[in-house]
Amino acid sequence: MGMLTGIGKTDRERMAAIIRGTKGTVSVEDAARILDVASTDAAKMLSRWSKNGWMSRVRRGLYVSVPLESRTADVPLEDPWLVADRLFLPCYIGGWSAAEYFGLTEQIFSTVLVMTVQKPRNRRPDIKGTLFMLRTISKKAMFGLKPVWRGQVKISVSDPSRTILDMLVDPVLGGGIRSVKDMLVNYLRSEDKNLGQLIEYGERLGNGAVFKRLGFLLEKIAPDETKAIDECCRRLTAGNAKLDPKLNNIKLITRWRLWVTEKWKRMEPIDRQV
């Protein structure tokens, strides 16, 4: 996309009306409804504005406005969460993206993690320079969410307990088990700590590996949390899980029915980090 070209009075008024009547993103249907024109006319109008640099095309039929101060239409997404909410509904922002939002990590993740009921072919789309990672979940797993306002739009984000739960289900969602462990430490130190809720969420989700990983980690980083550790023990399912499927798990912790690495096996719970 090149430099912006001029825009006439009529187009400027129409665009202003569309921006006032939408919330971060503009679809063909939005434009047609606001301007009371046919969808074909709205599509042509948005396409023309996009070619002239006044709108930026996100995907077919969906656009975002270009900031007035911009000298080019090649601009990054102003708020990727708004685009994620529009493209991947039903969905929520989860994993490391939610952990960043709630202050559970100081790491900066360049990819936006979205948990969605959709089954997209491309699970790692690059939209206007913003990378997204999409993870498909079932409709019944859409719980433990917190509404967050982004401008005029209410976005669903996993609450702190659900965020930890999702990362215990799959450590990849937290950047690996070491990162997940650090986020769990921060969760236990925070005002959002609610191990009863976390265990309740785990039961509701019905994933047995959660209690194996959580119980093992609690014994390492918070051995005084005996009630929660006992609750995890009582919920152990048959079979052995891996602490982190991406690692070389060669040692079996029979107490937790959990395969771990040599390093995790040797780790003693002497540093009471919590």
Question: Which residues are 51's β-sheet partners?
Answer: none
Domains for the chain: give ranges and CATH numbers. Answer: 9-65 (1.10.10.10), 80-266 (no CATH)
Residue 98, C-beta contacts closer than 8 angstroms, at least 6 positions apart: 92, 113, 157, 158, 160, 162, 163
Q: If you search the block for the tokens 């606001």, which residue do you land on?
A: 34
Question: Which residues are 251's β-sheet partners?
Answer: 260
Helices (H), 53-176: 80-88, 95-101, 160-169
From first to last of its 274 residues, what are the pLDDT tens digits of the chain? 444 455 677 888 888 888 787 777 888 888 889 888 898 888 888 888 878 778 888 888 888 877 655 555 556 678 899 999 989 999 999 999 999 999 999 999 999 999 999 999 999 999 888 999 999 999 999 999 999 998 888 999 999 999 999 999 999 999 999 999 999 999 999 999 999 999 999 999 999 999 999 999 999 999 999 999 999 999 999 999 999 999 999 999 999 999 999 999 887 665 555 6
| Contact present, 114 and 137 (Cβ < 8 Å) | no
pTM summary value: 0.85
Residue type, 51: K
